[in-house]
């Protein structure tokens, strides 16, 4: 009998297995269920393609994306492997012809969409086709707790119940502990072999920037990277449209991508991006799976994502070629507060718990004072003892300063304004603006008017946000987000306590942030 090593060389033309592949192949050939966690590009496909060549029968591969199926099958055919796919794009005649080949056992690997697999009595063919292995790609799609739940995946759990002897290999590039457990239990994998490759993508530099004037920040970044390709993720379709048209207006080759666009337009954008005819895609989470472009040099998150798995996956679309790549997030704590309120309103108790766990992890990443890569990888159970040296925190550790005086100025200004105004207005007063509204209300008379004019708008924005964070101020949502003092603010105003604040992190274009004074 041929060995896995021979198949690797003779069929696929590779000399060595990558880390993990050999042991996974061995377990699969021994008939054991397995769950494989490997980053995109890690080499998951060979984990079932090599066994498929050695098993005496058919390997069925469940894959969610029709376009990827075709690519995979074409690549296999080029290597001389009898592979085929079955999905809604085939005509009735083509399907019949394929069924004939399957019965004659002329096919080694069959790619099929989950809908098709569970359609009608498809499964009843498994015995006559001699199905020996089932591979489930993008296995996180089965989990409601994952970031990309697909209802058509849920029914895949039936398969083990029906064919308890059929080995199943589930593969995914992103799954935290909760999602992993959910995959195992939903697919009913028995005594599974678990393989987890490192989630680290060392060439990606993670940076979080305070979101204070996002459009300006975005422009600065894009300008500094004008000859490179990137993806900009936003949470709302409206913002996607807006940014894409503003960038286009400035002469960038940018396009919008979201779920409401027609299929043809989405394909056009994706293909143009793939072929380097388009530099920037501004997108919602809908722009995702199936993008396999090596030279995405930056991924910007204009808004904080709801889910750290999604964040990992989205930033992971950058730098597939291994070259230095930037992952930049604009972070505004009030975005986080809004998302948290939405999650709190989720009626399903379990879902609320899971979502808030994942979101808390996302916020912890955004607010990290220690190596961000460690925070991210630890979340996925991928422990690294040393700071990475390639994130904003490592490159430029947060600096703190004695913030008591700033805090007192800000808090007393809020107090003088009768705790009835929002952040923007408080900053205007602090900085001594004489705008119409201030003059109309007579606020230029306040003792706190202009006491902060030596600092920038952005500096005060950061200070006020930190005070909110520290629980010294609250934003009263029912009253138009006006700032109000908390009990704890009294001690600060009296100067009874010490108070350190972080020097604002405002400038991402240069790696060295100077204190704003």
46 binds, among Zn ion, ligand ADP, none (CB under 5 to 8 A by kind): ligand ADP
Asked if 40 interacts with ligand ADP (CB under 6 A), we say yes
Pick 41 or 387: Cβ nearer ligand ADP? 41
Closest distance to ligand ADP from the beta carbon of 13 (Å): 9
Closest distance to ligand ADP from the beta carbon of 171 (Å): 7
Closest distance to ligand ADP from the beta carbon of 12 (Å): 7
> Is 168 within 8 Å of 10 (Cβ atoms)?
no
The residue range among 10-18, 374-382, 395-403, 439-447 that interacts with ligand ADP, by the rule CB under 6 A, is: 10-18
43 binds, among ligand ADP, Zn ion, none (CB under 5 to 8 A by kind): ligand ADP
Pick 254 or 391: Cβ nearer Zn ion? 391
Closest distance to ligand ADP from the beta carbon of 7 (Å): 11
* Contacts (CB under 5 A) with Zn ion, residues 283-342: none
Asked if 47 interacts with Zn ion (CB under 5 A), we say no
Q: How far apart are CA 386 and CA 402, in angstroms?
A: 29
Q: Among 33, 37, 44, 392, which residue interacts with ligand ADP (rule: CB under 6 A)?
A: 44
Residue corresponding to tokens 């690797």: 8
Closest distance to ligand ADP from the beta carbon of 88 (Å): 23
Asked if 38 interacts with ligand ADP (CB under 6 A), we say yes
Q: What HEC string does 237-281 produce?
A: HHHHHHHHHHHHHCCCCEEEECCCCCHHHHHHHHHHHHCCCCCEE
Asked if 371 interacts with Zn ion (CB under 5 A), we say yes
The residue range among 39-47, 121-129, 232-240, 311-319 that interacts with ligand ADP, by the rule CB under 6 A, is: 39-47
14 binds, among ligand ADP, Zn ion, none (CB under 5 to 8 A by kind): ligand ADP
Pick 15 or 494: Cβ nearer ligand ADP? 15
Closest distance to ligand ADP from the beta carbon of 67 (Å): 14
Closest distance to ligand ADP from the beta carbon of 46 (Å): 5
Q: Nearest 5°: CA angle at 84, between 83 and 90?
A: 170
Q: x-or-dash pattern for Zn ion, window 87-116, by CB under 5 A?
A: ------------------------------
Encoded tokens for 515: 């204190």
Q: How far apart are CA 386 and CA 249, in angstroms?
A: 44
**Using CB atoms within 10 A of its CB, is residue 350 exposed (0-12), middle (13-18) or buried (19+)?**
exposed
Residue corresponding to tokens 């079955």: 86
Asked if 291 interacts with ligand ADP (CB under 6 A), we say no
50 binds, among Zn ion, ligand ADP, none (CB under 5 to 8 A by kind): none
Asked if 394 interacts with Zn ion (CB under 5 A), we say yes
Q: Among 5, 23, 32, 43, which residue interacts with ligand ADP (rule: CB under 6 A)?
A: 43
484 binds, among Zn ion, ligand ADP, none (CB under 5 to 8 A by kind): none
List the beta strands (DSSP E) in 53-150.
58-62, 83-86, 109-112, 131-136
Asked if 7 interacts with ligand ADP (CB under 6 A), we say no
> Is 280 within 8 Å of 230 (Cβ atoms)?
yes
Pick 92 or 383: Cβ nearer Zn ion? 383
Q: How far apart are CA 492 and CA 2, in angstroms?
A: 75
List the beta strands (DSSP E) in 63-220.
83-86, 109-112, 131-136, 168-172, 193-196, 204-210
Q: Among 4, 25, 37, 46, which residue interacts with ligand ADP (rule: CB under 6 A)?
A: 46
The residue range among 38-46, 209-217, 244-252, 355-363 that interacts with ligand ADP, by the rule CB under 6 A, is: 38-46
CA dihedral 129, 133, 134, 138 (to 10 degrees): -140
Asked if 14 interacts with ligand ADP (CB under 6 A), we say yes
Question: Of 339, 484, 487, nearest to 423 (Cα)?
Answer: 484
Asked if 373 interacts with Zn ion (CB under 5 A), we say yes
428 Cβ contact partners less than 8 Å away, ≥ 6 residues apart:
435, 438
Measured in whole angstroms, the distance separating CA 261 from the mean position of its chain's CA atoms is: 21
Buried b (16+ CB within 10 A) or exposed e, 143-155: bebbbbeeebbbe
Which SS3 state, helix, strand or coil, does residue 406 take?
helix
Question: Of 223, 225, 229, nearest to 246 (Cα)?
Answer: 223
The residue range among 41-49, 304-312, 438-446, 501-509 that interacts with ligand ADP, by the rule CB under 6 A, is: 41-49
Q: How far apart are CA 257 and CA 266, in angstroms?
A: 6
Q: Nearest 5°: CA angle at 75, between 111 and 50?
A: 70
Phi and psi at residue 104, to the nearest 5°: -80, 0
Asked if 312 interacts with ligand ADP (CB under 6 A), we say no
Asked if 388 interacts with Zn ion (CB under 5 A), we say yes
Closest distance to ligand ADP from the beta carbon of 296 (Å): 15
Asked if 41 interacts with ligand ADP (CB under 6 A), we say yes
450 binds, among Zn ion, ligand ADP, none (CB under 5 to 8 A by kind): none
Closest distance to Zn ion from the beta carbon of 376 (Å): 9
Instruction: Give me the half-sphere count of Cα atoms (radius 13 Å) on the Cβ side of residue 51.
Output: 30
> Is 323 within 8 Å of 203 (Cβ atoms)?
yes
Would you tell me which residues interact with ligand ADP (CB under 6 A)?
14, 16-18, 21, 38, 40-46
Would you tell me which residues interact with Zn ion (CB under 5 A)?
371, 373, 387-388, 391, 394
């Amino acid at each position: 009998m041929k060995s896995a090593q021979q198949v690797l060389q003779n069929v696929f033309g590779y000399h060595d297995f990558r880390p993990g592949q050999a042991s996974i192949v061995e377990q699969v050939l021994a008939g054991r269920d397995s769950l494989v966690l490997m980053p995109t590009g890690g080499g998951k496909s060979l984990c079932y393609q090599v066994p498929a060549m050695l098993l005496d029968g058919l390997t069925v591969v469940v894959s969610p994306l029709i376009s990827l199926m075709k690519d995979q099958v074409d690549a296999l055919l080029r290597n001389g492997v009898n592979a085929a796919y079955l999905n809604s794009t085939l005509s009735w005649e083509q399907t019949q012809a394929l069924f004939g080949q399957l019965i004659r056992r002329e096919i080694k690997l069959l790619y099929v969409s989950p809908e098709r697999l569970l359609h009608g009595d498809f499964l009843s063919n498994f015995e006559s086709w001699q199905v020996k292995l089932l591979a489930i790609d993008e296995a996180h799609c089965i989990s409601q707790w994952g970031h990309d739940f697909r209802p058509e995946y849920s029914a895949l759990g039936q398969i083990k119940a029906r064919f308890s002897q059929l080995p199943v290999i589930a593969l995914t590039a992103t799954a935290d502990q909760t999602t992993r457990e959910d995959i195992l239990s939903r697919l009913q994998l028995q005594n599974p072999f678990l393989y987890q490759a490192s989630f680290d993508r060392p060439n990606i530099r993670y940076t979080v920037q305070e979101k204070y004037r996002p459009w300006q920040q975005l422009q600065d970044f894009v300008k500094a990277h004008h000859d490179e390709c990137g993806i900009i993720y936003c949470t709302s379709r409206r913002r996607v449209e807006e940014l894409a048209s503003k960038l286009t207006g400035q002469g960038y080759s940018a396009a919008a991508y979201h779920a409401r666009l027609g299929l043809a337009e989405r394909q056009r954008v994706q293909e143009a991006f793939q072929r380097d005819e388009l530099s920037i895609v501004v997108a919602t989470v809908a722009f995702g799976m199936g993008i396999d472009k090596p030279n995405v040099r930056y991924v910007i998150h204009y808004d904080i994502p709801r889910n750290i798995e999604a964040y990992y996956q989205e930033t992971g679309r950058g730098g597939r070629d291994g070259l230095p790549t930037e992952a930049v997030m604009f972070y505004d704590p009030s975005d986080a507060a809004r998302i948290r309120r939405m999650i709190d309103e989720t009626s399903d108790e379990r879902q609320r718990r899971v979502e808030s766990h994942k979101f808390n992890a996302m916020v912890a990443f955004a607010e990290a004072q220690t190596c961000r890569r460690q925070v991210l990888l630890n979340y996925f159970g991928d422990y690294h003892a040393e700071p990475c040296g390639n994130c904003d925190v490592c490159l430029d550790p947060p600096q703190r300063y004695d913030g008591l005086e700033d805090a007192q100025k800000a808090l007393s200004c809020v107090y003088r304004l009768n705790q009835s105004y929002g952040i923007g207005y408080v900053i205007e007063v602090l900085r001594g603006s004489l705008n119409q509204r201030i003059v109309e209300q007579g606020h230029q008379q306040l003792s706190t008017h202009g006491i902060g004019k030596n600092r920038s708008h952005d500096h005060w924005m950061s200070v006020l946000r930190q005070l909110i964070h520290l629980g010294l101020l609250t934003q009263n949502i029912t009253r138009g987000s006006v700032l109000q003092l908390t009990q704890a603010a009294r001690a600060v105003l009296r100067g009874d306590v010490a108070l350190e604040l972080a020097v604002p992190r405002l400038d991402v274009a240069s790696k060295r942030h100077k204190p704003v004074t």
